[in-house]
Structures are given as C-alpha cells and as structure tokens.
Amino acid sequence: MNVVVTLSLELLRLPTRGRLALVLGALVVSLGLYELAFPTTYLGGVLMVPLILSAWLFEWQGGLLCFAIITLILGTSYGIALGDTFWSSAWFVPFVSGMLCGLVVCLAVGVLRHVSDALQGAQHKIVRAEKAYQLEHTLNESRDQALQNLNHELLTPFTQIQGYLELLETYQEQYNAETQACFLMYVRSGCEELLSLIATALESAQTPGRQQPHLSAFSLQHEVQAMMAHFEPRFRQDYRVKLDIAESTQVYADPHFVRQIIGNLLTNACKYTPAQTSITVSAAPINAANEPHERAGMICVRVSDQGPGIPLEQQSLLFQRFVRLPNAVESTQPGSGLGLAICKQLVEAMGGSIWVESTGRSGEGCCFSFTLANGSSSAADDHIKFDGGSDDQAKAILHRQHEGYTVSSLRRSG
C-alpha cells in the first residue's frame, strides 16, 4: 500500500508534458490490447488504466475527456465491425454497462485526487505555520540573548565609571590635577564603551540573529594594553598581569569583540584566583605540525592563572549559557553564567574556537585559549578572497592594514 501511495505522489510531480505522454501511452497500449481480444471482453479491464491515470493526473475533467475518447473509439469500432447487430442487447448492453463502470471509476478517482490535494494543502499550511512559529521563537530567543549579553557587558564599564568617580569623590584632595584628569579620561572611556555597547545592541535588535563582526587587521599587543589600562584600579593592584605578546603579532578580527573576550576571561581569572598571584596573557602563531589543519596559521591567545583549576568532568559545561560550576556557586563572587558563553559566541563569529585546559588540581590553575585569524598581509589577503568582498571592501581592509591600525585601535579604546 505504501508503494502505491508513494508512486501516486511521485506521478503528481511529473511536468504536464510527462503526464500527457504517460496517459496517451497507457491509452494506446490498453486500446491495442483490447482490440487484440475483440470481440471477446476478457481484457476489458485494461481500459481502466488510462481512465485512472488521467483522472489522477488531471482530476475529474481529464478523466471525463479520456472517458469520452475511449467511448468514441470503441463505439465507432463496434459499430463498423458489428453493423446493425451492435444495437442488439447481446452487444449494446455490455458496452453501455462497461462504459458506466468506467465513468464511475473515473469520477471516484477524481474525487480521491481532490481529497488528496485538500489534505496536502492542509499539511503544507501546518508546515508553514510550524516554520513561522519556529522562526518567531528563534527571533525572540535572539532578542532575549542580546539583552542578556548587553546586561552582562554593561557591568564592566559601569563598574569602571563608578570606581573612578568614587575615587574622585572620596580622595579628591589627595590627587593632583594630572591624576584627576587621568581618572576623568578613564571615566570618559567607560562612557564611550557604554555608548558603543548600546549602539551594538540597537543594531542587533534591528537585525536579529548572530551579531556580525567587523573585521580588520590590528596589533593584538596594543589592543590588549589599551583594554587593560582602563580596567578598574583594584584589578591592577591586586594581581600581577604578565603580557607575553610580541609587538609584531597582528590579528584579523573585530577589535571590540577581542576586548570583550579578553576582558571577560581576565574578570573570571580575578574572581577565582587568589590575590597577588600571576595572570598571564600570551599569544603566538599555531604550529601547523601539532594542531588540526583548520587551526594552522592562526594566532592562539591564552589567558592562564594560578587559581584552583576546573575538574575535568565539569569542563564540558563551561561554555553553556547560565551555567555556573559548583565551586563558583559556593563562592561569594557574583555571576550570571553568561561570560564564557558570550566569549564562545564572539570567537566563533570571527571563525575561531575556544577551549579550556586544566588538570583540576588546586594551585595549577587553568588556561583559556582561543584562536584568531592571522593579521599578516598574506593572511588578510586570503580572507578577502575567501569572503568574496568587492574591490572597494578589499581596498578598505588593505588601507586599514597599512595606515596605522594601532593608532585607530587605541582611539577606539578611549
């Protein structure tokens, strides 16, 4: 039965010419077989084949047309072959009863075709409604995710602004004019960061979905230094941050994304690492001989600490949204479980990957690593070819490469 249904639905996918050819072929073959058996009627059933095909492929109108053709051909053949005897009850009654049976079959198949079309139409409407619901659900999730990410990212510049304003308010008389001006510059930088985050959120709300990176080549060392210079003062006092990034190391990425990622990783390291311990931020090209092919030639950025580490069985949960590990929940440090999930989203949006390495033993800490595209001239050219950008886009990217992206990165950081 399933085979018959499948075959029937496949026939409906034929083009109009294919359907006509199939019906005409069945009509010729069935009439030929019937004429071979004439004047006996043992093969009269073969005439139902073209009737059924025409009624199924062209609905009841096509079936009636085929029925009229068969009736005309057979009536003419019988009349010529039998003459006056055709009108006797011995021939005319079976002919009429056979034609009536064919008419009933034709109409029945036409009704079945109509019901089948109605059922398929209803099924398609259900599928379209489900897709529309799924799309709306996805868009709502994207908006919710954007708001959650924005809430998480706003905390850092708000904390920075609040910290420096409290210092100015509490110890204003103890700081000279130069220090106060420096603090105000940091406050202004935090305000600019807030404006940038709000603009990004508005852009994401207008075009829901994954936020698209704005890639450019820049010096990773200068970008990280500019980001760390605007970190809250307590962070720089309580932790010894080592920067092991060569000045010549360049990446092809979104500077704002990179600042967010490293900022989140450093914030997490501060939360769970004892004070006065070392946190190292390093970067180096990946050795193609020791890494998978898709990572070869990329820049690997690492943020390592000397904290308690992360047990192996818990590491697979790290980058899920709203997930906080048991030791994080038991601690007094606040958190929403979004920081690492945001890092993963941003890294993957730039074509990289992120992972953690930790033995889980206290004091050995952990190392969060992520990859970025190499910002050398040849690598950037490959990205331009891969992205299929226009000539104007390629010129703009090369212009940013050769026109001092370091200065522009510092300006973007405030």
pLDDT in tens, 50-106: 888 888 888 878 888 888 888 888 778 777 777 777 666 666 666 777 777 778 888
Lowest mean pLDDT among 95-99, 116-120, 279-283, 389-393: 389-393
Confidence at residue 369, expressed as pLDDT on a 0 to 100 scale: 94
- What percentage of the chain carries pLDDT values higher than 70? 69
CB contact set of 172 (below 8 Å; sequence gap of 6+): 180
Q: Is the separation of the CB atoms in 386 and 409 below 8 Å? A: no
268 vs 156: CA distance, rounded Å:
12
CATH 3.30.565.10 maps onto the chain at 214-412
Backbone conformation region of residue 60, classed left if phi is above 0, alpha if psi is from -120 to 50, else beta: alpha
Q: Is the pLDDT of residue 388 over 70?
A: no
The tokens describing 185, both together, are: 């510059």
The model's pTM is: 0.49
244 vs 353: CA distance, rounded Å:
21
Q: Which residue has the higher pLDDT, 4 or 63?
A: 63
Confidence of residue 372 (pLDDT cuts 50, 70, 90): very high
Q: What's the mean pLDDT when you consider all of the chain?
A: 75
In terms of DSSP bridges, do strands 278-285 and 240-244 run parallel, antiparallel, or are they unpaired? parallel
372 vs 106: CA distance, rounded Å:
68
- The pLDDT of 14-29, averaged and rounded, is 80
Confidence at residue 396, expressed as pLDDT on a 0 to 100 scale: 42
Confidence of residue 146 (pLDDT cuts 50, 70, 90): low
- The pLDDT of 187-203, averaged and rounded, is 70
Lowest mean pLDDT among 27-41, 54-68, 365-379: 27-41
Backbone conformation region of residue 244, classed left if phi is above 0, alpha if psi is from -120 to 50, else beta: beta
Query: Which CATH number does 214-412 carry?
Result: 3.30.565.10
- The pLDDT of 217-242, averaged and rounded, is 83
Q: Is the pLDDT of residue 27 over 60?
A: yes
Separation of CA 91 from chain center: 71
Q: What is the radius of gyration, based on Cα positions, of the chain?
A: 38
Confidence at residue 126, expressed as pLDDT on a 0 to 100 scale: 92
Confidence of residue 137 (pLDDT cuts 50, 70, 90): confident
